[in-house]
Structure 1
């Protein structure tokens, strides 16, 4: 009998959904939308805000300079138009002149400069978004120019995310944005009725596009136990919730719709590529051997949700994805052993790995042990704290780990996991060859040249075995019959604007 391996989850891989709220009957226009997510909010200060499941919290209160469609392409937002010069070093934004913040102050070019300057000056999880920005120029009351040190293929995407979230300058000056957001978004936070586990929002009557958000109030809830939310979904007390793959059949049998998308990849992060604490990992042949050691098809077949096996970290819907790379590391124990022998590790070596069995169950340990023991590698399981695991990874304390990372736009994947400054490249691995390939992406002209440049980065990362990707886990959202939504390329959950009542 096969034992299902639990699917990994972001943020210390805690796979959870939230508790139900007091949403009442199925939502419709001008009613209450109740959403449940698996992560609490950390901050409403834009440079400190998180993407992924936490984006729902701040999307309620902030509008962004640009919006994006489901394919990640930029759309007008608080900026009605934008254009680059020929050098791609100067981006001009034309701003709408009819927007006000919830404190009554006007949105203009000076406000954009205040926000971007604040973002650049405040260390936070999204720091790589501003590494290419040199300055922001107020070119007119409703026109700004963002000057870059080097081309940034991700800038337009970032302006539809936390970098583009605009707060009232007075609130920035007060320094209380973390808990008292003042934006121009579709809703305002009701702080007195909110808590760490529940955020309540009321419609912002001054929002410029109210039809895009047809609910009078929004509740976003966090809870660390999946069970209470199931009955709440079945009875319509909750409108939508993140859920695990294991409960989807039960929900669908009761009439709850479940949508899914594979916007992440799961596998081993081989972070110590210089071999500082695990010398064997400094040899590319060892890292390649680890890739050959895993039967990805089998692992996917016994994993919760039957995810799609993969050998690459770039999103399968992106221009960086290369189908040919999926067969680059076909399961081959003999090939793995041969590579270890060539690298001088014919007698094997010990690989330390954080023990996640308390979260994922003992089956995951057994699966990894069997695969690596078969090629002579002994796993040394180490106790870890789930609450500090992400920070331990990004600070370089963990040389290798099983984990799950976002795989959104190809440039986001590079800046998140591959570039020398990437958060999930904590030991700052870089090579002249890879740096040159990343630079090709920066200066590429046109979609064909961009696709070729991205694919070259992808191939380098695969061939040099920076990671051991295993599969693409699905992200699941359960929806009551009165609500519809859709995933987009950017983000691991649907944007708040995509939750809509079913039209009858």
Structure 2
């Protein structure tokens, strides 16, 4: 019998002892009032460029914040290393013998921030809401949830569904039924006044900054970090400037001379973790309504071979990125499941322009008088979008544009606001964009596949896809994903044949063109707070935009500490 019970364990949540005055709002241009110096207030910069739009719907692709901090999962799964999940709203869970029934015990001492009690009914309601709305059902969940009593939920499946547990338990944000039963569309409705169970609640909102205050009634004790202030700046450079001025306490992103953060930014430390696979997302499927040269898989493969990844890593990422597999299993963490049947297990770091040209010419593309390939009167000219201010991605795309021009592909980077970029990504209104594939709820490549390559998580152009933005669909890949869903993670041999199928297909089709594995680098104020993740103790994925990882880190911090 497969049985997995997670008892209440994990890190003690530090509780503050001194009341702290609420901080005032800051300028979004980096000219605020030195908010990073206030005791008990942590100032975070997530990369937001331009004003915030008030939206705290945890299921919206353009939500400002909330998953983990305001709305909680049942358990926390560490993406960096394979270990037992840490209880949050849940206390323990178990499977029946054949993996068709999941039973969860939830806490009995939790209230929502409006004072209403949290029960298993809220969990069952949230699960049912996700199942009924494909746009927010990232994992393709098809179970039926039932609240057995106030503290027990039973989820039943038609087929074994072992791999559904981390998504349901670790990345499903539990919402209050008494409020969300009146939400018309959980995908698009804005939530202006969020009510959750989490350690923080919305205190103040301005377009250039908003503040979350510690929940005094949080079941784990009021957090020691009393206030979280999120700033909107004009881009990465503004973040670097604010970091240098000591105005922000946590930023995830590039800084000059990133190897010497402690020397260049006294009082700060940094950590880099290879995690998110950077790629050129393509609107790939003409059947789904995509248009443009990128719908030709030979164009996508030609771009893959034409990249000089060594140069990209040097010029754009300060050598913090690393190799990527075209089968999208992480080379370090997941090397055991990287398919041996791939033509190349690792994407080439050096360009192969001859192979790129061969692919294009075999597909009927010919070089025009202007040096750019064309086919049937269409020039091989592509626009790639990126949020304004994302300086590393912008540098990468400008460099890539020069690389591709040498083989006859015209690539034009276009900077747009984050909100415009996010909306076009969701709706499929793009040719190419640069982004990264997040790793899902647990350290297993299954989730990348079920998120980004499943027909269940995409939609035609003009409708919201989440998160298969490439509009990719392949019946064999879908079948392999479903097979993996029902296999115990301990059966490596049975799983590998399905990993092989998926990796071979996506390496051939390339709806997401692999660039590099992003080295996620965060800069922390270690003079003001202690308890940050370190290379020796990476208890959570250290990205300020990681959810619910960011909340696990907030709960581990103590103000006015040092290393």
User: Structure 1 length normalisation: TM-score?
Assistant: 0.79
* Cα separation, 2, equivalents of 1:225 and 1:388: 15
Cα distance, 1:80 vs structure 2: 0.9
Q: Does 1:139 align with 2:148?
A: yes
Residue ranges of structure 1 left out of the alignment (5+ in a row): 1-15
CA contact (8 A) 1:300 1:309 kept: no
Question: Superposition pairs for residues 168-207 of structure 1, below 5 Å?
Answer: 168-173=176-181, 175=183, 178-190=191-203, 193-207=204-218
* Cα separation, 1, equivalents of 2:236 and 2:245: 16
CA contact (8 A) 1:66 1:159 kept: no
Per-residue Cα deviation, 1:71-105 (whole angstroms, up to 9, x for no partner): 36533221211122234332211122222222332
**1:299 aligned residue:** 312
* Cα separation, 2, equivalents of 1:158 and 1:113: 15
Q: Does 1:352 align with 2:381?
A: yes
Q: CA 1:151–1:269 in 2, change beyond 3 Å: closer, same or farther?
A: farther
* Cα separation, 2, equivalents of 1:225 and 1:281: 28
Q: Does 1:222 align with 2:232?
A: yes
Per-residue Cα deviation, 1:314-346 (whole angstroms, up to 9, x for no partner): 434543546961156863222222333333335
* Cα separation, 2, equivalents of 1:341 and 1:195: 53
CA contact (8 A) 1:284 1:465 kept: yes
Partner of 1:189: helix, strand, or coil?
strand
**2:552 aligned residue:** 497
Q: CA 1:325–1:490 in 2, change beyond 3 Å: closer, same or farther?
A: farther
Question: Superposition pairs for residues 144-183 of structure 1, below 5 Å?
Answer: 144-152=153-161, 155-161=164-170, 163=172, 165-173=173-181, 175=183, 178-183=191-196
Partner of 2:279: helix, strand, or coil?
strand
* Cα separation, 1, equivalents of 2:44 and 2:106: 31
* Cα separation, 1, equivalents of 2:32 and 2:350: 44
Higher helix share: 1
**1:440 aligned residue:** 483
* Cα separation, 2, equivalents of 1:91 and 1:482: 43
CA contact (8 A) 1:202 1:217 kept: yes
**1:397 aligned residue:** 429
CA contact (8 A) 2:283 2:432 kept: yes
Cα distance, 1:426 vs structure 2: 4.6
Per-residue Cα deviation, 1:395-440 (whole angstroms, up to 9, x for no partner): 2332334444434552332233211133354564323332232233
**1:308 aligned residue:** 322
Partner of 1:272: helix, strand, or coil?
coil
Q: CA 1:268–1:394 in 2, change beyond 3 Å: closer, same or farther?
A: same
CA contact (8 A) 1:233 1:479 kept: no
CA contact (8 A) 2:306 2:356 kept: yes
Partner of 2:114: helix, strand, or coil?
coil
Q: CA 1:263–1:50 in 2, change beyond 3 Å: closer, same or farther?
A: farther
User: Pairwise CA RMSD of aligned residues?
Assistant: 3.8
Per-residue Cα deviation, 1:9-56 (whole angstroms, up to 9, x for no partner): xxxxxxx997766546475xxx333323223475333433668xx55x
Cα distance, 1:356 vs structure 2: 5.1
Q: CA 1:37–1:462 in 2, change beyond 3 Å: closer, same or farther?
A: same
**1:33 aligned residue:** 42
Alignment size in residue pairs: 476
Question: Superposition pairs for residues 199-348 of structure 1, below 5 Å?
Answer: 199-210=210-221, 213-226=223-236, 230=240, 233-234=243-244, 236-246=246-256, 248=258, 249=260, 252-255=263-266, 256-274=268-286, 284-306=297-319, 307-312=321-326, 313-319=328-334, 320-321=337-338, 325-327=345-347, 331-347=351-367, 348=373
* Cα separation, 1, equivalents of 2:166 and 2:54: 22
- Bigger shift: residues 16-25 or 392-401: 16-25
- Bigger shift: residues 133-142 or 280-289: 280-289
* Cα separation, 1, equivalents of 2:54 and 2:164: 24
CA contact (8 A) 2:163 2:485 kept: no
Q: CA 1:450–1:362 in 2, change beyond 3 Å: closer, same or farther?
A: closer
Partner of 1:81: helix, strand, or coil?
strand
CA contact (8 A) 1:42 1:49 kept: no
Question: Superposition pairs for residues 2-151 of structure 1, below 5 Å?
Answer: 23=35, 25=37, 27=39, 31-39=40-48, 40=52, 43-48=55-60, 54-55=64-65, 57-69=66-78, 70-71=80-81, 73-121=84-132, 126-129=136-139, 131-151=140-160
Q: CA 1:284–1:140 in 2, change beyond 3 Å: closer, same or farther?
A: same
CA contact (8 A) 2:323 2:349 kept: no
Partner of 1:302: helix, strand, or coil?
helix
* Cα separation, 1, equivalents of 2:402 and 2:212: 50
Q: CA 1:485–1:215 in 2, change beyond 3 Å: closer, same or farther?
A: same
**1:411 aligned residue:** 446
**1:10 aligned residue:** none
